[in-house]
Structure 1
């Protein structure tokens, strides 16, 4: 694919990014805001996600139905999400519809009404979403584990909030959060695909020229290491759900590509070590995978699996056996080349999605303030040697640094 990256900045501080991909006939357009759960207090936990919902409920000139219809009636797909550090509003469209998409996204960010009746209605919707999450063992387990791993820090808060905090959030709280966090310096308006930067930038300028200037620097909050924990909690269902993990590295970690390789060796697909050596050879688990999250201040790394209550101890032991092998034994050249090729292939396959490219481009802008191409990532991973893997694994996979929560059927806790 031929690709061209461009960046410009409005006087307000709003950044405009484009990646032109000549070989496609579609475009992904989005507004990404560098705010999320991490900017909340415990009292208003869930407010970033609440605002994301409410921004589709209506503006001065468009109803909720008209917002959706403006994109979907043209064959486009409109969506949004909230994460720990980013809130995103985006659409996958045809190039002819870029102007109307920019106009709609600008409208919902600048002119949403936040009517009391809409707040009440959407609060009810999110209560249902929270209950659905609580009824999904894996989701509940991860939310609980994350809270334990990030004590006294908003990275440990659930994105949806909880029933109590959601009920406390009022219209004034919503507007105050927007004023403090939806600032021009934290906003990127971007497009990937069949797009020309100069034309796109002019549409964005017209739509966002009235956005007030505000640098909007985000506060960096120190992480506290949790006291070592090994917990048992009740959960509905028949299986035990086990999480083993620890605080780890931020996205500024200089050895982040070696970090990704360890994650891939353990958990990238059916040929990975955890899948082959624990699921395939013992039959003890159905789901097993490692997880890796990187944020501004730090990150989270660990392993999740679900198994029969009687096989929990055995499976934990086998996970730590795999850790010890990576810490002590050099990865063969053949296996390392295989996992590098697998990682490169997934990058290239994902790049076929314009939405994926849009998300990646905006995430790198927030994290590193520059564009990082796939070829740059591939070049960096190809330089990794087995010695780097074993050096990092000896630190990252030290079992003495791992915490655990066992979620067991209610009758067994």
Structure 2
């Protein structure tokens, strides 16, 4: 039996738990702000902060942070998004206090030494260059820049080489002073643990923080549409994404778009894989994707193909969008995709980390917790009419943002 509980500390820190049996436990600390909340600071500073929190605290060296968790068989990691930043672990249940102590330590007590920052900025510059040398990864940044041209959503999460070069220890500590506040934090845990015990530990670790201001909510004032082409001599193919702005996580149309994404481009049985790869041998890689945040979802279809077949690929993908808006899925196709989502949910639930991410995501979106039975009911309610309505609303050709990296001949 799953028991989902929520409580708050006096300073606004939210404490979440989902109790499930087993000896493995996952927990994390989320901040309700990410790269889209960096106004007044150099782009990429949140991502730099994520890196620097692992470079040593007042109690632990960089090595001790990772070794403390890994030495017990666990894992520890972090991620920066546009709307949130998280630090998380998976450990044995017996080590849950240790896991939370390490997470709180690196989030609250990191020293952000200038010498260590200089070293880590070199690592981050390599990461930025790695993205620019991978057309598929670079395209991911360009799509957001083109689709959200006047919003911080359109800026690369990792920043640029120039922007991160402007970050020093003083600037980073200034950013931390406004980032680290109770109302900006969610602590979540999935495993066999009593919620009251978790709440008491959260109070001990995070209860002294000031509540601070409410989280910043980035706004999207304008959407980009049309065709954006970026020639690259280093690219041997055309890499392209057809992207749309979609409904916010958990809002009307989101669950429908999630099913359409699976139907169109998740797996070898999907429409795009079958038509573009299996039937017409146009590409090796084709898929669709969702990027989900509390205020906006972005949906896209990606393909890498020979330059000469790029226009044909776009036309075939567009026709699939149009067919769904006109006819929707067939009965057998809808039933198969429903079971794909239901099976994926059940298989994913074998990992406590998947449950943890879903639990935190709903809280970050301002939504009440939803157990497995509730998710199953939402999936089973999806029908052909609701999917047609979703496709007509969100997959309109007029709102399509087509971003290409086009390979060019070397001179």
What is the TM-score normalised by the length of structure 2?
Answer: 0.95
Cα contact 2:250–2:367 (8 A) shared by 1: no
CA apart distance, 1:412: 7.5
Residue 196 of structure 2 corresponds to: 198
1:145, 1:233 → 2: CA distance?
A: 15
The number of residue pairs the alignment matches comes to 411
Give per-residue Cα distances to partners, 1:186-235, cap 9 Å, x unaligned: 21112111222122222222112222222433234243122534324225
Cα deviation for residue 403 of structure 1 reads: 2.2
- Is residue 285 of structure 2 the alignment partner of residue 278 of structure 1? no
Separation of aligned partners in 2, 1:75 and 1:351: 21
Q: Deviations over 1:282-305 (max 9, x none)?
A: 000111112222334433222110
Cα deviations by residue, 1:156-209 (Å, 9 ceiling, x for unpaired): 111111100000112232122222223211211121112221222222221122
CA deviation after TM superposition for structure 1 residue 42, in Å:
7.9
The residue that corresponds to 2:61 in the other structure is 63
2:146–2:154 Cα contact (<8 Å) kept: yes
1:304 match: secondary structure: strand
Cα offset for 1:60? Answer: 1.2
Q: Which runs of 5+ in 2 are unaligned?
A: none
| Structure 1: distance between partners of 2:346 and 2:365 | 21
The Cα of 1:19 is off from its aligned counterpart by: 0.7
CA deviation map 1:339-363 (0-9, x unaligned):
1111111111111111111111111
Aligned to 2:32: 34
Deviation track 1:339-394 (CA, whole Å, cap 9, x = no partner) reads 11111111111111111111111111110242112221210121122111112212
1:145·1:405 contact (CA, 8 Å) conserved in 2? yes
**3-state SS of the aligned residue for 1:262?**
helix
Which one of the candidate residues 121, 132, 135 is aligned to 1:137? Answer: 135
1:215–1:317 distance in 2 versus 1, CA, 3 Å: same
Aligned to 2:18: 19
Q: Which stretch shifts more, 160-169 or 294-303?
A: 294-303
What are the superposed Cα offsets for residues 88-143 of structure 1, whole Å, 9 maximum, x if unpaired?
11111011111111111111111111111011111111011111111111000111
For residues 378-393 of structure 1, the aligned pairs below 5 Å read: 378-393=376-391
Number of the residue aligned with 2:186: 188
1:371 to 1:219, Cα distance in 2 relative to 1, 3 A: same
- What's the CA shift string for 1:4-54, capped at 9, x where partnerless? 1111211111111111111x2110111111111111238611111100110
Residue 50 (structure 1) aligned to one of 48, 51, 67: 48
Alpha carbons 2:247, 2:296 under 8 Å: kept? yes
Alignment correspondent of 2:93: 95
Deviation digits for residues 68-106 of structure 1 (CA, Å, limit 9, x no counterpart): 121111111111111111111111101111111111111
2:83 and 2:197 map into 1 onto residues whose CA distance is 30
Pick which of 221-230 and 364-373 moved more. Answer: 221-230
Single out whichever of 330-339 and 127-136 deviates more from structure 2. Answer: 330-339
Runs of 4+ more than 4 Å apart: none
- The answer to whether the aligner puts 1:322 opposite 2:320 as a matched pair is yes
Partner of 1:3: 2
Indicate how the Cα distance of structure 1 residues 220 and 400 shifts in structure 2: closer, same or farther if over 3 A, else same. closer
Structure 1 contact 149–156 (Cα < 8 Å) conserved: yes
1:108 aligns with 2:100: no
For 2:382 and 2:125, how far apart are their aligned partners in 1? 46
- Contact persistence 1:42–1:157 (CA under 8 A): no
- Give the secondary structure class of the aligned counterpart of 2:64: helix
Instruction: Specify whether residues 232 and 102 from structure 1 end up closer, same or farther in structure 2 by C-alpha distance, changes over 3 A only.
Output: closer
> Structure 1 residues 219, 323: closer, same or farther in 2, change over 3 A?
closer
Cα distance in structure 1, aligned partners of 2:80 and 2:344: 24
Q: TM-score, normalised by structure 1?
A: 0.95
Question: Is residue 24–residue 92 contact of structure 2 (8 Å, CA) maintained in 1?
Answer: yes
